[in-house]
Structures are given as C-alpha cells and as structure tokens.
Amino acid sequence: MPRQSVSADPAGPSEQEVAALLHSSRSVTVLSGAGLSTDSGIADFRGPQGVWTKDPSAQAMFTLQRYLSDPEVRRRAWRNRRDHPAWVARPNAGHTALTAFARTGRLRAVVTQNIDGLHQASGLGDGCVVEIHGTLRQAECLQCGGRVPMPDVLARVDAGEVDPACLVCGGIQKSATISFGQSLVPAVLAAAVDAARECDLFVTVGTSLQVQPAASLCDIAQGAGARLVVLNAEPTPYDRQADAVLRVPLATLLPRLLTAA
C-alpha cells in the first residue's frame, strides 16, 4: 500500500484521514486493551478511574510471586474474580463495530490484552481473536496445568472455599490469565507476532501501550511496513511514531471509522 501522509499530532489527524487508511488497507490487525471495555462497565487499570489508580494495592493480585506466596492475596483474588463485572458485561458499540468490520474480510486478527471475552461475545470468532494475556473464563492449576471452566471454581467460592485448590492434584489455581512475572504462552505470542507482521495497518484500541511484549507488536508491525494508528483516551509511548493518533471515545469512534471503511 502506498504510504499516505497522515499527521501523528494528537490535535491534527482527522477521523476522515484514519477512515481513509482503513478503507485502503487490505489487512488490518487490531491490538485492543482495557479502554475498549470501559463502556461495557469494566474499569481499566491505569486510567483516571482505573483499578490500580484508585487502589495501588490491587496490583498484588496480578503479580505471580505475591499470588503464590500470600494466601490472603489469593483469597482477595478469588473474591475479585467472583465479583468481576465481566460476568454481567455486554459488548459495546466498539466491539460490535469490529465484528462488523471482520465481515469485510480485511480484519487479519484482533490481538487483545483483555481477559473478559467480550470480543467473542460480540460474535467475533475464536479464530480471529488472539488472547495474548489469557482469559478470565477458565481457571488453571499452576502445578499440573489443568484447566476447568471458571464458573465451576467460582461455585466453590460461593460455597465457602476461600482459596479453592485443584481437584486433580491439590495445586494452587488462578485464572488462566498472564500475571506479572509469568511468561506468555509461546504459541499465543507467536500468533500475535504473525498477526502484526502480516498486516498493512496496525491499529491499537484502548491500550496504554505500557505493557511488554504486547506493546512491541507496534514495532514489529511497523518494521514489516505497516502503518500505525493509535486510538486511546490518554497519551501512549507510541504516539510520536504513530501515523495517526485519535482520542475520541471508542464506543462512538469505532463505529464511525469502521462503517466509513
């Protein structure tokens, strides 16, 4: 695709310019983050009303070593999973716009940092979604690696088990998500890298681009010749190297952009 001139100044690029990029792209990969799900009632982590902004101690639940070593952190984490808004959340207009765009045949993949399953709930097939940080919808034993549906374990929490162990080996369980200090699943990371390399437009949606290696997918995509568009409410470390940056709320922005494309 011939390179187009699009301003990367957050005050400069227009929605029409970004829509033109989407329209002229043959293969689009999207990296989605917590900001996409805020309009579904799921708080992000680092935003002004983010989980960690309001309660920095909550980060302990997402740090593998703390989780393994501190039973109270695990008990708190199980209560958090039981009460997580993902269980009642519904896809918003941003999710459904991406699903509609997929029907054009030009969506290479959605690589998501989100664990809520809302992309799939919006109708996007599992084959199109790369859950780089895992999923809340399964529980995983950290000893034997066994997985079970999360609702099965949460039923045990509701029945009074404060730190439910694996029923197979007795090991510590947690959600099948990637914690700080935990390696990504190699096959999942490889799929994300392939999606970044095999697109001509890489669009980040609702992610602060502060967590690696997910953020480095921007570099991989640009290194392979793709254009980079950043759609996020707050500044990111990749704004200066992006071809365009927009800060309009995603649930209203994505339907406009993707319908125009």
- Enumerate the domain spans of the chain: 1-42+91-133+184-261, 45-83+136-177
pLDDT of residue 54: 64
Q: pLDDT, tens digit, for every residue of 185-196? A: 999 999 999 999
pLDDT of residue 46: 59
pLDDT of residue 3: 38
Q: What percent of the chain has pLDDT over 90?
A: 84
Task: Place domain 1-42+91-133+184-261 in its CATH homologous superfamily.
Answer: TPP-binding domain (3.40.50.1220)
Topology of domain 45-83+136-177, CATH: SIR2/SIRT2 'Small Domain' (3.30.1600)
Given a cut of 50, whether residue 5 has pLDDT beyond it is no
Catalytic residue (one of 84, 95, 119, 133): 133
pLDDT of residue 6: 45
Confidence of residue 60 (pLDDT cuts 50, 70, 90): confident
Question: Phi-psi category of 11—alpha, beta or left, where left has phi over 0 and alpha has psi -120 to 50?
Answer: alpha
Q: Is 133 a catalytic residue?
A: yes
Q: List the single range of 33-42, 47-56, 132-141 with lowest mean pLDDT.
A: 47-56
pTM of structure: 0.90
- C-alpha–C-alpha distance, residues 132 and 69, integer Å: 25
HEC readout, 40-104: HCCCCCCCCCCHHHHCHHHHHHHEHHHHHHCHHHHHHHHHHHHCCHHHCCCCCHHHHHHHHHHCC
pLDDT of residue 61: 85
Gyration radius of the chain's alpha carbons: 19
Helix 15-24 vs helix 250-260: angle between axes, to the nearest 10 degrees? 50
Q: pLDDT, tens digit, for every residue of 75-99? A: 999 999 999 999 999 999 999 999 9
Given a cut of 70, whether residue 11 has pLDDT beyond it is no
Q: Which helix (H) or strand (E) holds 120?
A: helix 118-121
Q: pLDDT, tens digit, for every residue of 137-149? A: 999 999 999 999 9
Half-sphere exposure for 164 (CA within 13 Å, toward CB): 24
Given a cut of 80, whether residue 48 has pLDDT beyond it is no
Which is nearest to 229 in space by CA: 251, 194, 188, 258? 258
Q: pLDDT, tens digit, for every residue of 217-226? A: 999 999 999 9
- CB of 107 within 8 A of CB of 81? no
